[in-house]
Amino acid sequence: MGSELIYLDNNATTRVAPEVVDEMLPFLTEKYGNPSSMYSFGGHLQKDLELARERVADLLSCAPTEVVFTSCGTESDNFAIRGLVDAYPEKGHVIMTKVEHPAVKNLAPYLRKKGLRVTEIGVDRKGNLDLEELKAAIDGDTLLVSVIFANNETGVLSPMEKICEIARERGVFVHTDAVQGVGKVPIDLARLPVDLLSFSGHKFHAPKGVGGLFVRRGLKIRPFLIGGHQERSRRGGTENLALIVGMGKAAELAKARLPEEATRVRALRDKLEQGILSSIPSTEVNGDPEHRVPNTSNIGIHFIEGESLLLAMDKHGICASTGSACASGSLQPSHVLRAMGVPFTSIHGSVRFSLSTYTTEQEIDAVLEALPGIVSHLRDLSPFHSMADVEAFGA
Ligand X SMILES: Cc1ncc(COP(=O)(O)O)c(C=O)c1O
Q: Would you name the residues annotated as active-site residues?
A: 326
* Secondary element (H or E) of residue 298: strand 296-301
The binder of ligand X chosen from 9, 48, 66, 177 (CB under 6 A): 177
- Residue 288: phi and psi, rounded to 5, are -60, 115
Residue 147 to residue 169: CA distance in whole angstroms: 17
The residue (of 20 and 72) whose beta carbon lies closer to ligand X is 72
Q: In terms of Cα–Cα distance, which of 275, 269, 276 is closest to 295?
A: 269
Q: In terms of Cα–Cα distance, which of 334, 310, 335, 329 is closest to 321?
A: 310
According to DSSP, residue 306 is labeled: H
The residue (of 152 and 297) whose beta carbon lies closer to ligand X is 152
73 binds ligand X (CB under 6 A): yes
The binder of ligand X chosen from 6, 179, 250, 339 (CB under 6 A): 179
The residue (of 148 and 156) whose beta carbon lies closer to ligand X is 148
Mask for 274-313, x = binds ligand X (CB under 6 A) = ----------------------------------------
Residue 290 to residue 35: CA distance in whole angstroms: 45
Which span (47-55, 66-74, 89-97, 270-278) binds ligand X, by CB under 6 A? Answer: 66-74
Residue 284 to residue 273: CA distance in whole angstroms: 9
Start-to-end CA distance of the chain, whole Å, equals: 44
Minimum CB separation from ligand X for residue 61, in Å?
21
Q: Under rule CB under 6 A, which residues in 188-227 are in contact with ligand X?
A: 200, 202, 211
148 binds ligand X (CB under 6 A): yes
Minimum CB separation from ligand X for residue 323, in Å?
10
180 binds ligand X (CB under 6 A): yes
Residue 13 to residue 180: CA distance in whole angstroms: 10
The binder of ligand X chosen from 20, 49, 52, 72 (CB under 6 A): 72
The binder of ligand X chosen from 103, 138, 272, 355 (CB under 6 A): 103
Which single residue brings its beta carbon nearest to ligand X?
A: 73
- Cβ-proximal residues to 339 (8 Å cutoff; 6+ apart), any chain: 98, 99, 122, 123
